[in-house]
Chain A
Amino acid sequence: MAYHRLCESDYRFLSLIWDHEPVNSTELVRLAAEELGWKKSTVYTMVKKLAEKDLVANENATVRSLVPWEEIRMQESRCFVDQTFSGSLPGFLVSFYGGKGISPEEAKELQKLIDELKQEEA
């Protein structure tokens, strides 16, 4: 099945096309910028990618979908990413909220500390 690599972003973008199809690509760029916060180049890359998967068609600068909304909707639950790249995020670039992960042992230990505070509060 081609659909199972479809991720949340793809789905949002497809939804945009479903809502407005057939849609002029310039219009699509505007819509994606507004709704998704995307750049023009991102939109074109995405259209190309989805066209390669035969999910959309791009003819004469007009984009339309090739799969019915219901079908993708059924597949939505299968949309996942096998591997995250959080571990490889360069620490000099980004500021992490949750840090770079934690071992189960340490998690257990920290949970204990939090529970102690809970008891104090109670």
Chain B
Amino acid sequence: MQNNVLGVLKEHENKLLTIWSQILQDSGSGDGAMEEEESKEFASLFLSALAKSDEKNEQSQEFEKVEDLIVGISSSRGKRGFSPRENAQYLLSFKEAASQILSELIKDPAQLYEANLKFSAILDNLMIMTFESFMKGREDVIARQVDEISEISTPVIAVWEGIVALPIIGTLDSSRTQTVMENLLQQIVDTGSSIAILDISGVPAVDSLVAQHLIKTVSATRLMGAECIISGIRPEIAQTVVHLGIDLTGITTKASLASALQTAFDMLQLSVVKRRKIVD
């Protein structure tokens, strides 16, 4: 008993659960049935682990199970949209409930202090793990979104037979240029197009690196036997490019996608005519 003072908590498991869920309810970070089940599982496993362990082997196998469980709980809470504060509150309130019970059970202040200290040390370790796994849960979400964004951000559109267009939105960095170029060149092959339109209306600034990437893309397109038109050059972009001293004279550029399309039609010897109204 003396040696394993924390083990007695197991005998008061139900009471602890009641106090714990009460604190969670009061703080407003509870979420009903699913949480109750999680809490029950955690408390039971944690308290059994406490009861079985003694001073020497706190890092026993029992605790590994507890760690796995709490990591699972907190990353699932992260995915369910709990705030970091609520997530921290979860274990902190468990600590609060346990120390309430401990103070009822142990009357000697020195013993109580020691028990509390020991209990805190174990729980703090678990807290750190929750933080890590909570963050990891969130980071997984971010990583998935980054993947999705880069996948949807370079669509190649077949606007006409023999003409593909690729609107670029956002900043062109090296890795993105690579994706853009690969997509574009593949589409040129797949659709048998002879003209590609690169629209940069959605690119906030064209610096020398972006320009260099554009020039490379145009050269690669030409090597494939297709012609490349760059459209969507806004007035301020035009002036900035001139001041920077970037030479785009070898490239066909247009202010809007519409005029680029018109140029493409001209190259393919197509013409768009207004239909004459038939009058009686």
On whether the two chains bind one another, the answer is: no
A residues whose Cβ falls under 8 Å from a Cβ of B? none
